[in-house]
Structure 1
């Protein structure tokens, strides 16, 4: 199973999309060991003093494909969930300064808590899905897929040029352009799709 993620994929105004859609998608990966499922609590990593959160919709690939045509790309999605793309910001910044890989700052154990998934049939319009994140009862991030620079189909078509997508692969599709921030031990995170609570855990 592959876990892929796309960076810097949301704008604050729909009119900003065309100017930002250069074709240069930022794609990175996380190992399977980064996943936390079933709303289990997540241990705050001992090696960082700056852990940042990004709430993201996660698409699950349902059928195998390579060089997938843009018009067929959405048919390769089987389910949608929501997850947190954690970044150990201090580690990540140190890696970037030396032009090193992002793995240590993005791929550590617990870096990708994910919810259970909902069938794609639950979402009649993939370009109009609402999602949000609350921390300790306070809403921190609000997103809608209409504000994506690269929509689900764009991501699938682009990524499949380089690698075969297979059933069960997960793709984190980007976080809203505002509201990201630092998480602390003891914080309670709750993430929603269309108002339904799907991800609910604490940092311990």
Structure 2
């Protein structure tokens, strides 16, 4: 079973939830349609890659994109949480990359097929270590960024989410149920783009935690 670290302590990972189309500008840049409900998909545990790992691009794709996101670590089992209590279930906050084989995703969407091959390859769920929720004064105002080399590619702020942190936790707990160790990738802002072998990626969460990865083919 894969693990992440919360304040240096290993935590076993359960389900990896990912939320798509949660920032208006990102929806616009990909010419997608806004959904009233959160758009959710899953990644396998084998997709998880911790800080400092070497990111191997899948051989079957020639257009892998970075998507930098705020990531939540669930600390206890939760079912049908009201929004007012939802943040109590979050044990920690981190930053991660939901990598997407964009060319493969386009082919799958055209056929009406699931996105798993485009979203679930090894290393496609990069993630930092996590800081305790008690260290985050306001999860609704967390800034994060991704740099590729010296170029800042993405800047995000959880205040700009269409479905906020508490709303997502509440909704997922009602729709699917949450378990201790679940991860929730909360969606990416605008600025997604391709990465290539040799790139050095650095993701940072509001001065609280950062992580880096080197891309190889």
Query: One fold, TM greater than 0.5?
Result: yes
1:196 positional shift:
4.8
CA contact (8 A) 2:24 2:162 kept: yes
1:68 positional shift:
1.2
1:108 positional shift:
0.9
1:11 maps onto 2:24 in alignment: yes
Q: Distance in 2 between matches of 1:91 and 1:114?
A: 22
Aligned to 1:35: 48
**TM-score where L is the length of structure 2:** 0.86
1:200 maps onto 2:206 in alignment: no
Q: Distance in 2 between matches of 1:62 and 1:169?
A: 8
Unaligned runs of 5+ in 2: 1-13, 26-32
CA contact (8 A) 1:95 1:102 kept: yes
Unaligned runs of 5+ in 1: 13-19
* Alignment counterpart, residue 176 of structure 2, candidates 155, 163, 183: 163
Q: Distance in 2 between matches of 1:115 and 1:182?
A: 20
Change (3 A) 1:100 1:22: closer
CA contact (8 A) 1:64 1:166 kept: yes
Q: Distance in 2 between matches of 1:73 and 1:198?
A: 25
* Runs of 4+, deviation exceeding 3 Å: 20-23
Aligned to 2:156: 143
Aligned to 2:112: 99
Residue 141 of structure 1: SS of its match in structure 2?
A: strand
- Give the aligned CA root-mean-square deviation in angstroms: 1.5
1:31-89 deviation line (CA, Å, top 9, x unaligned): 00000113211111111011011000100001111111111111110000111000111
Q: Distance in 2 between matches of 1:26 and 1:193?
A: 23
Q: Distance in 1 between matches of 2:117 and 2:34?
A: 28
Residue 203 of structure 1: SS of its match in structure 2?
A: strand
Residue 108 of structure 2: SS of its match in structure 1?
A: helix
**TM-score where L is the length of structure 1:** 0.92
1:23 positional shift:
3.6
* Alignment counterpart, residue 61 of structure 1, candidates 57, 74, 81: 74
1:111-150 paired onto structure 2 within 5 Å: 111-150=124-163
Q: Distance in 2 between matches of 1:150 and 1:200?
A: 27
Aligned to 1:152: 165
1:197 positional shift:
5.2
